[in-house]
Structure 1
Amino acid sequence: MAWTNSVGMIQRIHTIDSHTAGEPTRVIVDGAPDLGTGSVADQLVRFRESFDAVRCGVVREPRGSDVLVGAMLCKPADPSCDAGVIFFNNVGFLGMCGHGLIGVVQTLKELGRLSSDSCLIETAAGVVSAKLNDDGSISVDNVASYRIAKDVEIQVQGIGNVVGDIAWGGNWFFLVKTPACDLHLSRVRQLQDHAGNIRSHLNSSGFPDVDHVELFGPPTKAGSHSQNFVLCPGLEYDRSPCGTGTSAKLACLAEDGKLMPGERWVQEGILGTAFECTYRWMDETKSRIIPTISGTAFITSESTLRFDSDDPFREGIR
């Protein structure tokens, strides 16, 4: 698809929406721009450079919202993969998205595009595998995850001394250890401001690539191990426990010896929904883990988005 300003031109993009543990995903299944060949990472660059208006129009108001994560199906370069996918949100692009990948696999199942209960998906952060489970959940073996800095201390105006770890789980996270926060849905706006303040100070303290902040609290339900609150790049919060954020958490637990390979970890999100997780070491060096994140996605709608060239907000409200 070529984005055009020709008078009277209407373009259409077919999407399927789902939510995973409360967090929405909008998958572009038809009408997407032609990104050519190459790896999904290469195609993401072309998407960003030539078709960013499509990203904005699909996930931003008036067709979308700030919380919505978009996913565009594309051709994988890896011949072993069943599909490729590019993730994006209201402010840019994501290397990987855990809840979004679960939503993508549920969408591929809905479309009848999976030949078995297992599949490989190429993302901009690497190839991930997924499995459809008998109980309706989907398990994702995420990209290799690891911690790069432990007990990073920063001084945050209005908060004081903040200590946390920096880790990769498909996106970059600052996992706050102290001070502790009262995680409750009624305090979402305060938590967004709190985490946003931390991120601003962290970015200016030598870590400009960290765009997610993860706060933790005690679990609210029996069988869970932790509750989190995750601030996303566009200042919205993740309604789910965040697949890439949970992967980063597992990497820290593994390196600290607080969680053994194959040992179950249940991570609650701010809504009380949960992901069940385990990990294995990537290799004998034990420097990186392969996390497995399990959750359930539900299809919520199927739509054809219309982009009228005369519409002043065809590219979303910027």
Structure 2
Amino acid sequence: MHVIDSHTGGMPTRVILDGGPDLGSGSLAKRTLRLAKDHEAFYKSVLLEPRGQPGMVGALLVEPVDPSCVIGVIYFDAEAVLGMCGHGTIGLAVTLAEEGRIEVGTHRIETPAGIVTVELHDTNTVSVTNIESRRVAADVSVEVEGYGRVTGDLAYGGNWFFIADAEPIEVSTANIQRLKDLSIAIRKTCNERGIGGPQGQPVDHVILSGPSPNSDCLRRNFVLCPDGEYDRSPCGTGSSAFAACLAARGQLDPGQQITLKSVIGSAYRLSYQRGSEGGIIPTLTGEAHIMAKSTLIFATDDPFRAGIVL
């Protein structure tokens, strides 16, 4: 299996160029469901240690249904198949350019969440115009065991988010474990109580937002991913959902540009235009860098062929 690894603001993406499972034909949604239901062992083995690394997201290239798209892609982490991945799309665009499959300019990419547009500015810099994002519910309060009442917004940016203020915990690398523990507890409570999307979609990500220590950045966000790892980047789908909440509160105008940073300090520039269904169409800009070109080997006599499951 041939792969290219990149990182976007510190968050790794592994693009699978060939060697993935045959998902058949049909819509991308149907093929995504087949990957999730029938090939769990495959996608876990690609990302789990010792072959992968914590936080890594996989990007399986597939044929798009829409002929206007240069490629179709299904994203996944070690825990779940994802609807969309912002940092992964930035990494994918840089990888496609590295392979000579796209040039500087604008291109359409088909994802399970819908068609997104990428603009490749140079070797490393990419803008992603995401699917329509929206706040679903405001000021939702949950009683979190060991922490008390936590109030936040439910929002969608390609994945499902519970977004709350991190205070009194500072969003910094010194507090990653505390932020992770609180986020996991919030998500567990939301899912136990059935708090999520309007059609029963579970909360799969949590954002804990804090003030930025620098004037060049609006907020610094900690983002918990489905696999229990934190996003080293500011999270593209999370930034989209976060901007939708700001817009819904009248705190961000169409075309106004802001900068959001991750817990490790990497940044996305972000703006939006109004959507057609009451949400926003966000555009985020970040940088990705190629790290490796590899051939993954799955030897039958390897005792950890399927990865290390703890």
C-alpha displacement of 1:135: 8.1
Within the alignment, does 1:93 sit opposite 2:81 as a pair? Answer: yes
In the alignment, the residues of structure 2 paired with residue 195 and residue 57 of structure 1 have an alpha-carbon distance, to the nearest angstrom, of: 26
For residues 106 and 217 of structure 2, the distance between their equivalents in structure 1, rounded to whole angstroms, comes to 27
Is 1:268 the counterpart of 2:256? The answer is no
The whole-number CA distance in structure 2 between the counterparts of 1:179 and 1:132 is 37
1:307 alignment partner AA: F
- Give SS of 1:72's match: strand
Cα distance between partner residues in 1 of 2:31 and 2:113: 12
Aligned counterparts of 2:237 and 2:168: Cα–Cα separation in 1: 21
CA contact (8 A) 1:76 1:84 kept: yes
SS of residue paired to 2:180: helix
1:135–1:45: structure 2 CA closer, same or farther, 3 Å change rule?
A: closer
Rg larger for: 1
Unaligned runs of 5+ in 2: 197-201
CA distance in structure 2 between the aligned counterparts of 1:178 and 1:272, rounded to whole angstroms: 16
**CA shift digits 1:220-269 (9 cap, x unpaired):** 32311000000111111000100000000110111111100000010010
2:190 match: secondary structure: helix
1:289 to 2:277 alignment: no
- Cα displacement string for residues 204-224 of structure 1 (whole angstroms, at most 9, x for unaligned residues): 222260011100111132311
1:133: Cα distance to partner? 1.6
- Tell whether the 8 Å contact from 1:146 to 1:252 is kept in structure 2 after alignment: yes
Contact 1:66 1:89 in 2 (8 A): no
d(CA) in 2 for partners of 1:102 and 1:90? 19
**Does the CA-based 8 Å contact 2:103-2:120 persist in structure 1?**
no
The corresponding residue for 1:164 is 152
Deviation at 1:278, TM superposition (A): 0.3
Equivalent residue of 1:24, what SS?
strand
Q: Which residue identity is paired with 1:160?
A: G
Q: 1:263 and 1:304 mapped to 2: Cα distance?
A: 43
Corresponding residue to 1:218 among 205, 211, 229: 211
Query: 1:144 Cα deviation (Å)?
Result: 0.8
The TM-score normalised by the length of structure 2 is 0.94
- 1:143 — aligned with what? 131
Instruction: Tell me what 1:113 maps to.
Output: 101
Maintained 8 Å contact 1:175/1:213: yes
Equivalent residue letter for 1:309:
T
Aligned equivalent of 1:29: 17
Question: In structure 2, what is the equivalent of residue 229 of structure 1?
Answer: 222
Deviations 1:121-158 (A, max 9, x none): 00011100000125841000001100111000111122
CA RMSD of aligned residues (A): 1.4
Match of 2:199 in 1: none
Query: Match for residue 317 of structure 1?
Result: 308
Q: What CA distance in whole angstroms lies between the structure 1 residues aligned with 2:265 and 2:25? A: 41
User: CA separation in 2, counterparts of 1:272 and 1:50?
Assistant: 38
Structure 1 Cα separation of the partners of residues 70 and 117 of structure 2 = 10
Aligned to 1:192: 180
Give the CA deviation at 1:43. 1.2
Percent identity, aligned pairs only, is 47
Secondary structure of 1:307's counterpart equals coil
| Equivalent AA in structure 1 for residue 283 of structure 2 | T
Equivalent residue number for residue 251 of structure 1: 244
Number of residue pairs aligned between Structure 1 and Structure 2: 304
SS of equivalent residue, structure 1 residue 302: strand
Corresponding residue number in structure 1 for 2:54: 66
**Residue 180 of structure 1 contacts residue 216 of structure 1 at CA under 8 Å; is this kept in 2?**
no
- Residue pair 2:82, 2:159 contacting (<8 A) in 1 also: yes
Shift in CA distance, 180/146, structure 1 to aligned 2, threshold 3 Å: farther
CA contact (8 A) 2:94 2:124 kept: no
After alignment, is 176-185 or 137-146 more displaced?
A: 176-185
Q: Are the counterparts in 2 of residues 57 and 316 from structure 1 also a CA contact under 8 Å?
A: yes
User: Post-superposition shift, 1:168?
Assistant: 0.2
Which among 173, 183, 189 is matched to residue 201 of structure 1?
Answer: 189
3-state SS of paired residue (1:306): coil
> 1:255-299: CA deviations, max 9, x gaps?
11110000001001011111000000112x6x1111001000000
Matched to 1:230, the amino acid is V
Point out where structure 1 has 5 or more consecutive residues left out of the alignment.
1-12
